[in-house]
Amino acid sequence: MAKRSEEQQRALAGLLGLGNHSARKSHYPELAARLDDLEAERNRYKWLFENAVHGVFQGSLLQGMRAANPALARMLGYQDPQEVLFSLADLAGNLFVGGAPELEAIGEMLQRQRSLLGYETQLRRKDGSSIDVLMNLLLKPDQDELVEGFVADITERKLAQQRLQQLNDQLEQRVAARTDELLEANRNLQQQIAQREQVEQALRDARDAAQAANRSKDKYLAAASHDLLQPLNAARLLISTLRERQLPAAEKVLVERTHQALEGAEDLLTDLLDISKLDQAAVKPDVALYRLDELLAPLVSEFQSVAEATGLDLRARIGDFAVLTDLRLMTRILRNFLSNACRYTERGSILLGARRRGAMLRLEVWDTGRGIAADRLDSIFLEFNQLDVGRAADRKGVGLGLAIVERIAKILGYPVLVRSQPGRGSVFSIDVPLSGEVPLPISLAMPQPSTGNPLPGRRLLVLDNEVSILESMAALLGQWGCEVLTATDEAGALEVLQGRAPELILADFHLDHGVIGCEVVRNLREHFRLPLPAVIITADRSDQCRRALQQLGAPLLNKPVKPGKLRAVLSQLLG
């Protein structure tokens, strides 16, 4: 601490009223120490004032700026704090951007509130630019005109706020623009969805119309099949009757051509009905256990005469097996194989056989025809594809047979195979699951050539509501040597039988007035108290009809009736 001069000590003693009296001098050391403390405090505040980071000033509401620290001078662009000590008249023009009105408003607020905290304003710099500042102003308690102020430069904060506001405005603009884009995209999407819904609705309408048309077509085929098959059946029976008679050569040629035309029409109609049912998925397999001879023996009997008529030798090799299959559907497949073999083989033989392949039994049809080229093997199962070889050129058809075979095989889940060598023949086969159960008793024996013809002299009853069919059936069966009685209903049957039971009944499934042929057969069996054998002939290919026949225990022949198959069935039942 600097040593005080004697003049300062005397002045201090006079200021304190000590004089030279000893009593007063006894308090001088304490006062001197107190004075030193005040001086140190003053120096500390002076140091803080001069070295403060923010601007500090002292002013008067009447005189203007009285003191300013270097930080405030630098903030305002001045080198010396003395340059900032503006008079009250100069403050409005040189310091406050708001001018005299702002200065007056600050004075009024200080007079009312004694302080002004967090006041934001703009101050003018020496070069004429302005800065944003935050000021805290205090009116000294003991002096109503003396103001102490603290100033902080907030220009960077203001600029940051401005940039933030700009960014916020830009973001809002981008959000608004993006919202507009999304709204437009949403409108476009809604339009696309509406258009897609219209297209989908149009497609659904088209699909429904196609399905309705398809159902209408199926109903028409089902309804028309009976009306078409009835006269076709009568004509087929009459032509078969004529074929077996001795006719002049010219008439025999005409009869044969008529027979071929009717056979082609029958095959076409049958295939169309079958493919329609298969496409509707209306065919459900009824898998059961059958002996192999139950499946193959009727087919051999049916196609024996067909093969002989074309100069072919039909042979069969049937082992003692039992298979799990649908008898009706599997018969349809094998009948198609045999029919094609007879159709496309000009000379030689046809073999129907079976060979074991693990848990499967492979049923095969071999022929010695012209064969099929390797590049055509895949196409033969397509719809409306027909090979034009040999006598097949004279047969009218649409090539649906193997397409039906493929669909049925898919329903059953059995693989169909074909091998062929041009000029040597073909082999069509299908694998059927073998049964591990004990084979059933033989129910249908293989026809033997030495057994003779069991039909002549047999008394048969034919029931049908179509007179033309009755006449045709009577002519054909009569030519085979049978005694034929015909009737259109149960009452007529009892009348013509005259109390004597027939040896076999051939009945149409649908008779007049909703009567079912199966019911008439049951009633006749009860009337005569005999298990009369019966054959049901119908154009109905529904599952309901098939189940009714299973309950009756009678074989089924679909119209138009093939004479060869009819003869084979009658021979089996009467033999």
The model's pLDDT over 31-43, given as tens digits with 9 standing for 90+, comes to 777 777 777 777 7
Sequential DSSP letters for 169-229: HHHHHHHHHHHHHHHHHHHHHHHHHHHHHHHHHHHHHHHHHHHHHHHHHHHHHHHHHHHHH
Question: Across residues 107-126, what is the average pLDDT?
Answer: 90
Residue 248 phi, psi dihedral angles, 5° rounding = -60, 155
Sequential DSSP letters for 120-139: EEEEE-TTS-EEEEEEEEEE
Q: How far apart are CA 344 and CA 367, in angstroms?
A: 9
The model's pLDDT over 324-363, given as tens digits with 9 standing for 90+, comes to 888 888 888 888 888 888 888 888 899 999 998 888 999 9
Confidence of residue 24 (pLDDT cuts 50, 70, 90): low
Q: Please enumerate in sequence order all residues whose Cβ is within 8 A of that of 246, keeping only pairs 6 or more positions apart, or say none.
A: none
Edge to edge, what strands does the sheet with 360-367 contain? Answer: 313-317, 349-357, 360-367, 425-433, 416-421
Say which range, 51-55, 320-324, 496-500, has the weakest mean pLDDT.
51-55
Spans of all domains in the chain: 1-51, 283-447
Confidence of residue 271 (pLDDT cuts 50, 70, 90): low
Q: What is the pLDDT of residue 186?
A: 92
Q: What is the pLDDT of residue 442?
A: 46
Say which range, 316-325, 538-547, 565-574, has the weakest mean pLDDT.
538-547
Q: What is the pLDDT of residue 6?
A: 59
Token pair recorded at residue 179: 């919202």
Question: Across residues 237-260, what is the average pLDDT?
Answer: 77
Question: Across residues 107-123, what is the average pLDDT?
Answer: 90
Q: How far apart are CA 466 and CA 363, in angstroms?
A: 39
Who wins on pLDDT, 480 or 220?
480
Say which range, 115-124, 238-247, 436-445, has the weakest mean pLDDT.
436-445
pLDDT greater than 80 at residue 283: no
Give CA separation, 239 vs 245, 261, 266, 342, 443, in Å: 10, 11, 13, 20, 32
Confidence of residue 25 (pLDDT cuts 50, 70, 90): low
Q: What percent of the chain has pLDDT over 70?
A: 81
Nearest Cα neighbor of 52 from 125, 117, 144, 148 is 148
Q: Please enumerate in sequence order all residues whose Cβ is within 8 A of that of 451, keeping only pairs 6 or more positions apart, or say none.
A: 575
pLDDT greater than 60 at residue 20: no
Nearest Cα neighbor of 443 from 290, 241, 282 is 290
The model's pLDDT over 188-227, given as tens digits with 9 standing for 90+, comes to 999 999 999 999 999 999 988 887 877 776 666 666 665 6
Find out whether 564 and 480 touch, Cβ atoms under 8 Å.
no
Question: Across residues 292-317, what is the average pLDDT?
Answer: 85
pLDDT greater than 60 at residue 2: no
Question: Across residues 440-454, what is the average pLDDT?
Answer: 50
CATH 3.30.1360.120 fits 283-447, yes or no: no
pLDDT greater than 90 at residue 461: yes
Q: What percent of the chain has pLDDT over 90?
A: 23
Nearest Cα neighbor of 566 from 458, 465, 473 is 473
> Taking CA 200 as the corner, what is the angle to CA 196 and CA 206, rounded to the nearest 5 degrees?
145
Who wins on pLDDT, 381 or 119?
119
